[in-house]
Structure 1
Amino acid sequence: MNQERRLNILLHELLENHEPMTIKDLSLRLNVSYKTVQNDLMQLKRELSTKGAHIESKRSIGIHLIIDDEHRFNSFLKSVVIQREDANRDENIEIQLTYFLLTTKNYIKIDELTDIYYFSRAKISSVLNKINKSFMKYHLEIVSKPFYGMKIEGKERDRRRYIQSIYSSYISNEQLNQYEKLLAMNQIKQILKRHELSMSSTSLDSIRIYMVIAMYRMQKNCYIGMDVAELSYCCEMKEFAAASELAKLMEDKNHDPVPIDEIAYLTQLLSGNQKYSQDKYQKFEESIHFDLDRLIKKIFHRINDLFAKDFSKDFELYISLGLHMIPLISRIRFNFGIKNPYVSDIKKTYPLAYEIAVEAAMVLEEEFDMGLDEDEIGYLALHFNLALEREKLQIINLKKILIICSTGGGMANLLAFKVSSNFAKYISKIDTADLHEVSEKNLDEYDYVLTTVPLPYELQKPVLQISHMLSSNDIGNINSFFDAQKESWGLIDILSPEDFMTDIKGENKHEIINAIVLRLKLNHQLQEDFYEQTLRREALFSTEIDNKIAFPHPLVQETNETFMSVTILNKPVFWTHDYVQVILIGNVKKGDGAKAQRMYEEFAKLVSSKESILTLIKNPTYQTLFNEIEKQGEH
């Protein structure tokens, strides 16, 4: 290692370690002699003497970096290699390290990584910890062995899944680029078409990238293995023939045979990435089996129980969900998923549909003993959101009208015809009656009463007086009359000033949620396990969304009240993946399906507005919240 590199690493170590360091520490870090470190420190002192900093040495304590002129020192940093630690640089250290570890069989030491990537030991260790957390999702782990170093442990199929997840971020590998050029998309499409396998463009691209990675890994003698039972099952699948032909294409390009275990895994991927379209309903109807039908009905039952949404008669949802679940079940069975680039937007824009999808995922987890990730739940949410939109279009609250007309006969019928013609889409039934006949009518059968004469007694129904000829003024009055009878309800109606909090404190999400729940108990009769159920929901999938917002809520909601609380923190707190400053905790009473839908719709408008959230953070008052909800309601 040359002196320039050693000086950069020395400076980095002194910057990142706030406690004094000894020369012995630094010599071990650089793997050089005590004398070399002394000479390097003398050189570094000379360089820093005009750069706004100096190195202070104290006997029995150690060496410490003192910054005298921060502006001049920062300018100096920009001119040295150490500044390459900028997270936004072109070559991202996290991606590079991840890829290196995934494609290396042998143990490697941290010091070797610092030499390869020219970063400090502290930086490398920090990045490795972050990488190890991301590995957990793929059943991979960085393991260490004394005197040997570290390496990744895990199955080959899981390594490939992770490589594929970062593939678009790392395309500078020459071999991968070479294989990608060899595999033409048209050839893959033709093979799938011959075997009547239909896929989306995203899935097609995913299969092609997997084949590129597989060729690269097999060239390095890294193969997927299967047990006899799994292999036998895959060989019987209808996609096996297409997988065999794709494997032949890989052999022709790579000039190496593809083992049957590799073909079987490619069969699983084809099965999990298929697209079943509704124009093939006949084929779907033949392939649907009792278990899938039972599963869909079980999902509908849970949704109706928790959200008061009855989808059992939504045939379109039944079909689209069934078509989606055929390949989904294959992905669950073979333990792999598909990427959803829109999941963050789905959570933010369609919060009710996403929560419904979470419950559907719970049913699938109970059935298969394996949970779905957020990407898969996001795709399920799209199906439920379409169903919710259809429901909104279908729910036209038709009214039954009684017209009281003193003249009766033909005039009454003409008036009924005019009302019906002008308000046909709002009326399911319209009857007429003379004034003396009203007492004989069952008024419970009607929603509104229109009368041409003043009534001598009060009716327990909304009443509007109109003229015999139904003038344009009458039509306007009827419109206003109908609008006035509509139930006016919104998010602000379930958000009381007492549930708007700005003084909650905590170091992490558990402390924050606990403090909010304790406050809510002062104003609401919460279910006994409200806090525990909220943490259960949080443990399944993080409720954080964009714009520094989190929306925690109980997994099982048994509180007999619909409410929403808003908490604005003094400073952001790290949640699960990002920092959060606005926390909305809500509960929906059983049977409040309509209210829940309206609440989630207004909630989506609010959280989607970055401007509204920033305004709320800058001026955290209940009046600000009220104004922003009103503003979004106008859009």
Structure 2
Amino acid sequence: MIQLPYPRLNVIFEALRYEALPQQELAQRCDISTRTIRTDISALNDILASYGAQIQHQRGKGYHFDIYDETRFLDIEKQTKKMKSSPRNAKDRMVYLMMRLLSQEEECKLDDLANQWFVSRTSLQADMGEIREQLEQYNLELISKAHCGLRLFGEEQAIRACIAHILFQFKPSDHTFIDVCEYFFPEINQPSLKTDLLELINKNHIKLTDEGLHHLVVYCGVALHRLKQNACIHHVDQPNLSEEAQKTAAELSQTIESLLGAPLPQAEIDYLSIQIAARRVTGVPEIDTQKPTEQLELTQYLLDYVNTHYNYDLRNDEQLKRDLLCHITTMILRVKYQITIPNPLFDHIKRYYPLAYDMTVAAISHWGKHLIPDGEIGYLVMHIGVGLERNFSLEEQLPPKALLVCDSGTSIVRLLESQLIRSLPQLTIEKVESLRDYEELSKVDADFVISTEKVSQKNKPTITVSPIPTSFQLEQVNKLILMNRSHPYMLDKFFDHRYFSVLDEPMTQGEVLKKFSAHFTEDNITPIEFYDSVIERESITSTILGEGIAIPHSLGLLANETKVYTIISPHGVDWGNGKIAHVIFLFAINKDDYEEAMSLYDLFVTFMNGKAVDTILGCHSYDEFQYVAKECWFNRKKDW
């Protein structure tokens, strides 16, 4: 792969190198807008012109490579081989720099690395802040000595955990993983280790996923490399582990000893058994509530918290209890010993299952006994989400009701009613009124109004049709039905023109949350502690969903009334971790509205999936936003 100006171009290049992809798919993979994708493709084409290739767009197929000079394009492959010994982009540079610091025996000078990798010392120095933060999570310290360079200090167990965390970010087939292993651990034969380990776990009836097996192989390789450098684990607080895990570790240690040419300390064997037990797939057939354990305590705490703070009672779901206990049993072992298992679905879970995610994050934040990493929280969310679906699936909705208004006589009314029911059998005609009677109504109880004459809109949507409606008019009525079945009334019930704002000037995240939380409190929508709770929730983990949409809210149901404050920021608000929010929904939920208001999550996800941010940014009034929101919701249902 050629050296490109910024990392995202590398992602697009690699993605299109072997398959054609539509614009929307590329935008989703890079977490950017389709407009930015088009800009990036143009930048790539300027570079690829020197290599006899261009990226073309074909309707129905998407973007694909058009190589018109194979000889020049082969230069890219030649450059790729030369670049394997050094990082190719900013992300790889961070990986290589951390691995160099973690695996070296001597001091490391940034000037030497800068020359070797053809980057400036300033670039490497800029990376050091983030690297120090990551190392601190493992209680590892970097010491800088004048004229000598950087040297890392810390427990051997922590060093291996940090190395494993870095490597587990990548799949076995990932180029970065392969290159890093070849560069830093050239003596390790992973295929041979995998064969030996697979034989042992099958023999001792240890069940591992393919990913778990890969992680164990990687750990064994890292351990072997560190032991060859005389870096040993000298002491491990051995927990109560199964006989199978201990026996497998003892036999596996013999394989490592043969490769090392020296016996392993008992602490190394003990830690090896922990690595096996922490990744083992186990079952929990029975729940013994008479024997209190930390695993059972956390399981019951999660279910109690969800019931107390979110009004969903999952405490009698025995299947959910078993599933949670099964995961938590090995999770606590991993957390205690800083054993990483990546969760590739974490961003997906956070974006598409925000209700279960929010419940779990809130519960774990108040647990306090262990710092649970995001990946582990994601797996807990999956169990809670399945429990919610199993126990609280939405009831079948009542048929939509329409108020038919016609002032043209009984025969016309009957004809129109017949046409509507024949074309839209799901529709119920609730009542027929004259124009005069309709205008005297204070409110409409039906879901929407169908009229043969233009009438004033009251509290429900209206649509005008001919006595013999056209296909287009029937499609418009069907649109109203679909919107009604999707709870579009939430936009009228929980959104308000008083709580809509377009930011004319740039603001920080803190300024936005403080200003609009105060507006809620001034109107007695929320109590005074609402703002502090919103800040606390944000400190646990970011509430940005993606696509420029953020949904800040409080921990718990603090509101006196359920309302959503819609904030549009053309300038963008820095939401942390490099994420920029352009559409912010600050929402407050009252406990009496909780069941109904939870559908707001579906609405926010609909905006995100529909790539609606650019359109919403064009809204200058509350009415424009309402129109865009309802159109987005309808199009979502239509796509189904």
Q: Confirm or deny that 1:542 pairs with 2:542.
A: yes
Q: Which residue of 2 aligns with 1:200?
A: 209
Q: What SS does the aligned partner of 1:131 have?
A: helix
Q: Summarize the Cα distance change of 1:106–1:275 in structure 2 as closer, same or farther, 3 Å threshold.
A: same
Q: Say which of 249, 252, 258 aligns to 1:252.
A: 258
Please state whether the residue corresponding to 2:235 is helix, strand or coil. Answer: coil
Q: Which residue of 1 aligns with 2:478?
A: none
Are the structure 2 counterparts of residues 520 and 260 from structure 1 closer, same or farther at C-alpha, using a change threshold of 3 Å? same
1:149 positional shift: 2.9
Tell me if the contact between 1:132 and 1:142 (Cα under 8 Å) persists in the aligned partners.
yes
2 CA distance for matches of 1:629 and 1:620?
20
When normalised by structure 1's length, the TM-score is 0.65
Cα separation, partners in 2 of 1:158 and 1:506, compared to 1, 3 Å: farther
The one-character-per-residue Cα deviations of 1:294-344 (angstroms, maximum 9, x if unpaired) are 432322121111111011122221121111111112223333332111100
User: Take 1:190 and 1:91, find their aligned partners in 2: how far apart are those partners?
Assistant: 36
Give secondary structure in 2 for the equivalent of 1:179. Answer: coil
Q: % of aligned pairs identical?
A: 21
Q: 1:234 to 1:514 in 2, by over 3 A?
A: same
SS in 2 for 1:583: strand
* Alpha-carbon distance in 2 for matches of 1:346, 1:384: 11
Task: Report the counterpart of residue 14 of structure 1 in structure 2.
Answer: none
Give the Cα–Cα distance (whole angstroms) in 2 for the partners of residues 397 and 182 of structure 1: 55
Q: Aligned AA for 2:361?
A: V
1:223 aligns to 2:232 (yes or no): yes
Contact 1:499 1:564 in 2 (8 A): yes
Q: Corresponding residue for 1:68?
A: none
Paired amino acid for 1:295: L
Query: Which of 333, 358, 362 in structure 2 is aligned with 1:359?
Result: 362
Distance in 2, matches of 1:499 and 1:561, equals 13
Choose 89-98 or 213-222, whichever is displaced more: 89-98
Task: Tell me what 1:176 maps to.
Answer: 185
Is the Cα contact below 8 Å between 1:188 and 1:208 reproduced in 2? yes
The 3 A distance-change label for structure 1 pair 359 and 556 is same
Aligned to 1:58: none
Aligned AA for 2:100? Answer: F
Secondary structure of residue in 2 paired with 1:192: helix
The residue number in structure 2 matching 1:585 is 586
Offset of 1:592 from its aligned partner?
Answer: 3.6
Give distance in 1, aligned partners of 2:96 and 2:297.
Answer: 46
Q: How does 1:480-559 map to 2 (within 5 A)?
A: 489-490=489-490, 493-503=493-503, 505-559=505-559
Q: How much does 1:378 deviate?
A: 0.7
1:200 maps to amino acid: T
Q: Does 1:337 align with 2:340?
A: yes
Q: Which residue of the partner structure matches residue 602 of structure 1?
A: 603
Tell me what 1:301 maps to.
304
Q: What corresponds to 1:346 in structure 2? A: 349
Q: Secondary structure at the match of 2:137?
A: helix
Contact 1:111–1:121 under 8 Å retained in 2: yes
* Matched residue type, 1:594: E
Aligned residue identity for 2:372: L
Specify the SS of the correspondent of 1:330: helix
Cα-to-partner distance string for 1:138-188 (whole Å, 9 max, x where unaligned): 333433334443223332222222222332334324363542435343432
Q: The residue matched to 1:525 in structure 2 has which SS?
A: coil
Residue segments in structure 2 that go unaligned for 5+ positions in a row = 1-42, 52-78, 171-175, 400-480
| 1:625 corresponds to | 629
How far, CA to CA, are the matches of 1:288 and 1:274 in structure 2?
25
Distance 1:504 1:276 in 2: 55
State TM-score, norm by structure 2.
Answer: 0.65
Deviations 1:404-462 (A, max 9, x none): xxxxxxxxxxxxxxxxxxxxxxxxxxxxxxxxxxxxxxxxxxxxxxxxxxxxxxxxxxx
Instruction: Say if 1:572 and 1:265 are closer, same or farther in 2 by CA, change over 3 A.
Output: farther
Distance 1:519 1:320, change over 3 A: same
Change (3 A) 1:350 1:504: farther
- Does 2:145 match 1:136? no
Alpha-carbon deviation of 1:497? 2.5
C-alpha spacing 1:514/1:393, structure 2 compared with 1 (3 Å): closer
- The Cα of 1:505 is off from its aligned counterpart by 4.8
Q: Distance in 2 between matches of 1:487 and 1:553?
A: 21
Task: Quote the offset at 1:265 in angstroms.
Answer: 1.6
Task: Give the paired residue count.
Answer: 465
* Structure 1: gaps of 5 or more residues: 1-70, 400-480
The one-letter amino acid of 2:116's match is I
SS at the partner of 1:105? coil
> Which one is further off, 164-173 or 535-544?
164-173
- Measured on the aligned residues, the alpha-carbon RMSD in Å equals 3.6
Tell me which amino acid in the other structure corresponds to 2:359.
I
SS in 1 for 2:498: helix
**Counterpart check, 1:269 vs 2:275:** yes
* C-alpha spacing 1:275/1:520, structure 2 compared with 1 (3 Å): same
